[in-house]
Each structure stands twice: as structure tokens, then as C-alpha cells.
Amino acid sequence: MSDPPRTPLEIVQTFMNTIGRKEYDAALAWVADDCEYTNVPLGTVRGPEGVRAVLEPFFAPTLENEFVWRHSATEGAVVFVERLDRHRLADRWVELPVTGVFEVRDGRISLWRDYFDAPTILNEWPRAEED
């Protein structure tokens, strides 16, 4: 059994790996109750339930999610990550370059901002069928 994550970087890595597997309860245990999560072009939500409300429907059509870390840097409790988010859908992979900024407080993510070009992902993402 591996040691639990201790550094802000390890906490963010653990969170991202877990949320990518769609293990929502386990992943959201790493999110502070007052966390502010912003998809910069799309809006802000708060707390674990806000994060779940954004990610669970977004990941619903995915068969697999992969976060390829290109670069990361930390300064105290702040973690910067340049990554390529890859999402396998039924018929193809969709990729999105993202830069994320995380702040960790008391072992949990208290702030998360992702910066990306919304049309890059939205133009490739399956649309919900209208009733």
C-alpha cells in the first residue's frame, strides 16, 4: 500500500487520477467544502457538489479519461499544471490543452481554475439529444 499524498502536488495528482477514473466520491474527498472551481471560459461553482455537478455530466459520455501532464510547478500551496486532457468517446479520442491552477489548504484543494479554449472542446463534444 502506498503512502497517502502529502505535498500539494501529490494531492492534485491523486485528485486528477481519481476523478479521471470517474471515482467521484473518492476524488471529491480531496476537495475542500468551500472550494472554488472555475472553468475560466464557462463559470464558477463551489464545493465538492459543485465540482461533481460540472464533471459528472461532462464525463458521462467518456469511456476513458487521461490527463497527460506536460509541466508542473509548485510555489508553497499553489500548483500549476500544463496538461493535455484526453477523453475517449465511443468513436474517437477528444483532446484539450489545459492549464490548471490549484491551491491546497489543510490537505484539500481549496481553489481550482482551468484555463482552456472552450470551442476546442465544445465543437468536438457530443450534444445531448433533445426530447
Catalytic residues: 85, 114
One-character DSSP codes across the chain: -PPPP-SHHHHHHHHHHHHHTT-HHHHHTTEEEEEEEEETTTEEEEHHHHHHHHHHHHHTT-SEEEEEEEEEEEETTEEEEEEEEEEE-SS-EEEEEEEEEEEEETTEEEEEEEE--HHHHHTTSPPPPP-
> Side-chain half-sphere of 17: how many Cα atoms within 13 Å?
7
